[in-house]
Amino acid sequence: MDDATNEVVPVSRPGRQSTREQQVARAFVTLADSLVDDYDVIDLLTRLVGYSVSLLEADAGAIMLADPAGRLRQVAASSEDAHLLELMQLQNDEGPCLDCFRTAAPVTVPDLERASERWPSFVAAAMRQPVFRSVYAVPLRLRGEALGALNLFHGQPGSMPVEDQVLGQALADVATISILHERAVRHGEVLNEQLQTALNSRVIIEQAKGVLAQHSGLPMDQAFNALRRYARINNLRLVDLARDVVERQLDPGLLVTTAQR
């Protein structure tokens, strides 16, 4: 696994033409190396979002997964702004990411402000705080069925180049593989248990972020990074650490101090 600490985005953005292939290779090698027994699915999906944002030159990204009842829930995001935009779609039951999931096909929105006829409630909510202006959503799919969506957001209007769309789908496919896990597919196990575990883990992690933010005054993004860094330093699963924080088995102040060293 990459030895990154508190960075959500693990690759830099030097000259696109000269280093693009090397960055892509590094991302896929790191992600493939992470797919081992007992890997932390939430941390891996967060890493994947970070790679997607960097490689595809987006400003933020997020992943949504469907629960066993078919309802989408957000499980990984590169920023709180991306998290909030996903919540706006879920609250209004409309938006590019939901359409991507429902159709199992990519959805491109070059200018979100001009999409008010398609998604009136969502666009109205998003334009009240216009952090992002364009969206590209690509499905996480298995044999034509969507399990969720990888969503990329840009602060300026514009379309994503075709080569970036191809790479975006490849990254989404890695996310799908990480969720399903090769052994579960081989043995014909039911997928719902794995998906529900990921979704439940995210709820606990969100609660732990809130505890750390309230205790330390850190923004939610930094609170999450502190959780990830402490988990890696101490070789802990992220969800187990989050549960200890929520249940007050671990002093939040000690966690933040250790993670910031």
pLDDT digits 0-9 by tens, 159-216: 889 999 999 998 888 888 877 764 454 455 555 666 777 788 888 999 999 999 898 8
229 shares a domain with 112: no
pLDDT surpasses 80 at 17: no
Residue 1 in any domain: the answer is no
Confidence bin at 7 (pLDDT 50/70/90) = very low
Per-residue pLDDT, averaged over 89-113, amounts to: 95
Confidence bin at 90 (pLDDT 50/70/90) = very high
CA 205/CA 158 separation, integer angstroms: 34
Give burial (CB, 10 Å; 0-12/13-18/19+) of 36: exposed
Structure tokens belonging to residue 3 = 């030895």
Residue 2 in any domain: the answer is no
Q: What is the CATH number of the domain that holds 255?
A: 1.10.10
Quick check: 92 and 98 in contact, CB under 8 A?
no
217 shares a domain with 126: no
224 shares a domain with 179: no
CA 259/CA 248 separation, integer angstroms: 17
Quick check: 148 and 45 in contact, CB under 8 A?
no
244 shares a domain with 166: no
In this predicted structure, what is the pLDDT of residue 43? 82
User: Tokens 């959500």 label which residue?
Assistant: 8
In this predicted structure, what is the pLDDT of residue 45? 85
CA 227/CA 6 separation, integer angstroms: 9
Residue 190 in any domain: the answer is no
Q: Which of 135, 152, 185 is the last residue of a domain?
A: 185
In this predicted structure, what is the pLDDT of residue 28? 79
Nearest to 234 by CA among 212, 209, 254: 254
- Contacts of 229 by beta carbon, 8 Å cutoff, 6+ apart: 5, 6, 259, 260
208 shares a domain with 116: no
Residue 10 in any domain: the answer is no
In this predicted structure, what is the pLDDT of residue 191? 58
Residue 247, domain extent:
201-259
Length of the chain measured in residues: 261
Sign of CA dihedral 54, 58, 60, 62: negative
Counting the structural domains of the chain, the total is 2
Confidence bin at 130 (pLDDT 50/70/90) = confident
Q: Which of 185, 210, 228 is the last residue of a domain?
A: 185
161 shares a domain with 80: yes
Provide the percentage of residues in the chain whose pLDDT is more than 90.
39
In this predicted structure, what is the pLDDT of residue 144? 82
| Residue of 193 and 89 predicted with greater confidence | 89
Least confident of 72-81, 165-174, 186-195, 249-258: 186-195
Quick check: 212 and 241 in contact, CB under 8 A?
no
